[in-house]
Amino acid sequence: MTLPYSKEFLEQLKLNGYSSETIYNYERDLNTFDSYLEREHQKISFSKITKDIIEQFVIYLSSSDRKTAHGEKAKVVLNNRSINRIITSLRRYFSYLVEMNFPVPVLPESIKLVYVNKLRHSQVSEYEGLTKLIESPNIFEKNKIVALRNRAMLETLFASGMRISELINLRRIQLDATGRIFIEGKGKKQRFIYLTDRAQRHIKNYLVERTDDFPYLFVSMRGANAGNKVKHISPNYLQAKIKSYRELLGINIPTSAHSLRHGFATYLAEQGANPAAIQILLGHESLETNTRYVHASDKYAEDTHRKFHPLKD
């Protein structure tokens, strides 16, 4: 089975300004559902899909026997947040069918998300650990300009809270002396991000060593993209480097580029930053999205307890 009007649905997302990465995720999630129907309900037509079948699909997603779209056994068991992302994609697709007056077997609002523990313990390194990670390129990289570039990238991530996709797409022309950068982020939403004096200093140190006139701020020094004026550095490279630095430093908490964004928000919350301000800085639509950064901070909880508990003495 191929889900009807799925190509038109993806095309509409493109027309509405969704990023290629987001569209890819929607397509992958729909393919997961389509492949499930092919394997488990081979003779069923799209019009015969029921709410019960979708509930079976949700159970299947949490199973260790889940298969990929290519029929291979999935290597990773999905957690409830990942399952909800797939369900949300399915609901958005069904909503599109309703909007276009196409036949829809199940109303999107009847497809329920699974429970997620919103207060799960955050995997954010201690402030000292993140600081060591940010500074580590100067220790572990033998090539001076690579060390300066990687240090500048990590400083920029933690200083601004930007996404890795926003970081690698930065151009030199976006920089000015104020440390304020206007960017177009996820879903083509526009906002300002702000650099600390420290981050600006490390970017300047890196650019002093650049001898090219390439437009992107962070470019490859070697590999397939090296010397290519229209290419920026690969996000996979940066993620691999963060993993390598973490292991060399002996940091046992899984850490990624997103961890620096998460840490940025968490430690701002610790210092008492207004959640509405954090929302603007991160480019989130919902204020509720940011509450996890406050909940995630053990120090914030401890300080709140010490400050406000009525039986302090």
Query: Are 91 and 49 in the same domain?
Result: yes
Highest mean pLDDT, choosing among 98-102, 178-182, 260-264, 281-285 = 98-102
Helices vs. strands in the chain: H and E counts, helices first: 14, 2
Hunting for tokens 């430690």 — which residue is that? Answer: 267
- Give CA–CA dist 175/172, Å, rounded: 6
In a domain, 279, yes or no: yes
Report the share of the chain in percent with pLDDT over 90: 39
Flag whether 122 is in a domain.
no
End-of-domain residue from the set 78, 110, 142:
110
pTM of the model: 0.56
CATH of the domain at 41: 1.10.150
- Does residue 118 form part of some domain? no
| The domain boundary residue, chosen from 58, 80, 110 | 110
pLDDT of 282 above 80: yes
- The rounded distance, in Å, linking the Cα atoms of 13 and 22 is 9
**Could you tell me the pLDDT band of residue 96, with boundaries at 50, 70 and 90?**
very high
Residue 177 has pLDDT above 60, yes or no: yes
Rounded Cα gap, residues 290 and 225, in angstroms: 36
Asked if 41 and 13 sit in the same domain, the reply is yes
Model pLDDT, residue 70:
60
Query: Does any domain span residue 283?
Result: yes
pLDDT in tens, 208-248: 999 999 999 999 988 777 777 778 999 999 999 999 999 99
Q: How far apart are CA 97 and CA 90, in angstroms?
A: 11
Which domain, by its residues, includes 197? 127-307
Buried b (16+ CB within 10 A) or exposed e, 83-122: bbbbbebbbebbebbeeeeeebbbebeebeeeeeeeeeeb
Which pLDDT value is given to residue 115? 77
Q: Tokens standing for 124?
A: 């954010």
* 3-state SS class at 115: coil
Task: Give how many domains the chain has, as a whole number.
Answer: 2
More confident site: 135 or 284: 135
In a domain? residue 95 = yes
Q: How does pLDDT run across 21-59, given as a tens digit for each residue?
A: 778 888 999 999 999 998 888 878 899 999 999 999 998
Tell me what percent of the residues of the chain surpass a pLDDT of 70.
82
The per-residue pLDDT for 302 is 46
Provide the CATH number for the domain around residue 240: 1.10.443.10
Give 257's strand partners: none
**pLDDT, position 227:** 72
Q: What span, in angstroms and rounded, lies between the C-alpha atoms of 109 and 95?
A: 9
- Which tokens sit at 48? 């015969």
Residue-wise pLDDT tens digits, 97-147: 999 999 999 999 899 888 766 544 455 567 788 889 999 999 999 999 999
Q: How many CB atoms lie within 10 A of CB 61?
A: 21
Say what the pLDDT of residue 301 is: 45
Instruction: Return mean pLDDT, the chain.
Output: 82
C-alpha to C-alpha distance for 199 and 203, rounded to whole angstroms: 6
* Inside any domain, residue 115: no
Question: What was the pLDDT predicted at 119?
Answer: 45
Q: Is 71 left (phi over 0), alpha (psi -120 to 50) or beta?
A: left
Task: Give the pLDDT confidence score for residue 277 in this predicted structure.
Answer: 76
DSSP designation for 117: -
- Which of 53, 84, 110 represents a domain boundary (last residue)? 110
CB-neighbour burial class of residue 49 (10 A; exposed 0-12, middle 13-18, buried 19+): buried
161 and 291 inside one domain? yes
pLDDT at 244: 93
Tens of pLDDT, residue by residue over 152-167, are 999 999 988 889 999 9
Residue 300: which pLDDT band, with cuts at 50, 70 and 90?
very low
